[in-house]
Copies of this chain bind each other. A is one copy, B any other.
C-alpha cells in the first residue's frame, strides 16, 4: 500500500485473482480450479500468480479465506445489526437467503460445495474447511443459546438443534436446484426453492416466529 492509502498494483491484482478464483472454484470445484483459466479470465499470465502464492494449494487456502471474508461481510455483519435473540437468528437466515438469491457466486454455496468435494479427501484443505464449518456452527449455536436465554426459543433441541436445522436448509437449497430446473428456468427454480424453504422454516414446530 502506498503512503496515500491507494492500493498498489500487486494488491489490486491479488484481490482480483481471489474474486475470480472464488467464482470459478464454486462452479468447477476447489480442486477443479485451473490456474490457467483464472489467469486467462483476468488477462494476466499464469506465472504471475506464483508471484503471489507459491503453489496452487496456497491459492486454494487463500480462496477459502476470501470466501470466509465475503461470508462475514455479506451475511454475518448485516445480521448482527438485528437485536440479540430470535430476531438475530432470523436475520442470519434472511441475509443468507438474500446472498444466495443475489447469485454472487453462480455455483451456489461455496462452502457446501467444497465440503462435499473434500469430504473424503484428508489434507490441509479439508482441515481448513472443517475449521470454517466448526466456526459457523458455533456461531449459530451461540445465537440459538442467546435466544433460549432470552426465553424466545424453546430449549431442548441443543446441542446443534436449531443450528443443525438451519444449516440443512441452506445446504439443500443448492442441492435441489437442478431438479426443479427441469420444469422452470434454473434461476427461477432456485428462488422458488428458497421460498419453499422460508415457508418450511416458519413452521412453528421447527423454529418459532419472532414475537
Contacts and interface: CB of A to CB of B under 8 A. Distances in A.
B172 A171 contact: yes
Contacts of A179: 130, 133-134, 137
Interface string A41-80: 0000000000000000000000000000000000000000
Copies in the complex: 2
A171 B178 contact: no
Interface stretch (A3-11, A93-101, A116-124, A143-151): A116-124
A115 B27 contact: no
Contact of A112 (B31, B129, B164, B175): B175
B200 A164 contact: yes
Nearest to A131: B182
Interface residues of A, number: 45
Nearest to A169: B168
A112 B116 contact: yes
A171 B174 contact: no
Given A164-B200, A178-B115, A178-B126, A27 B172 contact: no
7 contacts: A26-B120, A28-B121, A107-B119, A113-B117, A116-B175, A130-B182, A167-B172
Interface of A: 26-29, 31-32, 106-108, 112-113, 115-121, 126-127, 129-130, 133-134, 137, 160-161, 164, 167-169, 171-172, 174-179, 181-182, 196, 200, 205-206
